[in-house]
Amino acid sequence: MALNIVCGMQTVNLFRTSKFFRQNLGIIATVEKNGKRMLNDKDKFSFFYNSRYRTTIYAQGNVGDIKFYGDHYIKDKTFAVYFGNNFEEFLFEFDNTIMSSKGIDFYLGHILKEVEEKYEEKVKNDELVKLETKPVGNPDMVLQNPGNVSYADLKAYMEKRNKQRYGKTE
């Protein structure tokens, strides 16, 4: 699965020291349509980022499936990793100690492993939240207080009524 990393230009220069880094300046950010300059939607991630943060990022290159983008407004060593088709965002602070002791390629592998672990944890938490938050309706609320009825209450009332009328639930 493709990863996109957005960071400041100083941090991009640190990632460029990888022996696997290949410069790729990407696709032009805007195109002319009907006499107007519009955002180019060919690069899905760049379009997503520009729509979300209202700033243009510039492709710098890639290491395999990891694409690097530079954002001129990021001035510190923070970088964001976007994972998956939904572009789940994970923030990191660039760690010079790991890079200087083990190398940039090891550091990229470390980031990949950490992103995958965080993503799996997030998926598990989302599934738990879905299981926990199943609302239970009160069928008597429709008759007692009709102005304060939730969808779950209405559904429970309909099931109760159908059970009474037909002896079954739908």
Give the pTM.
0.73
Instruction: Identify the pLDDT of residue 52.
Output: 93
Average pLDDT, integer, range 105-126: 93
The CA distance from 142 to 159, in Å, is 13
- DSSP notation for the chain: --EEEEE-HHHHHHHTTSTT-EE---S-SEEEETTEEEE--SSHHHHHHHHHHS---EEEEEETTEEEEE-TT--SSEEEEEETTTTEEEEEE--HHHHHHH-HHHHHHHHHHHHHHHHHHHHHHHHHHHHHT-----TTHHHH-GGG--HHHHHHHHHHHHHHHHS---
The model's pLDDT over 67-114, given as tens digits with 9 standing for 90+, comes to 999 999 999 999 999 998 889 999 999 999 999 999 999 999 999 999
| Residue 167 confidence (pLDDT) above 60 | yes
The CA distance from 49 to 73, in Å, is 13
Kindly list the domain boundaries of the chain, sorted by start residue: 3-131, 136-170
Q: Tell the residue number behind the tokens 């939240």, with chain if given.
A: 129
The model's pLDDT over 30-60, given as tens digits with 9 standing for 90+, comes to 888 888 888 888 889 999 999 999 998 999 9
Range with the lowest mean pLDDT among 101-110, 117-126, 155-164? 155-164
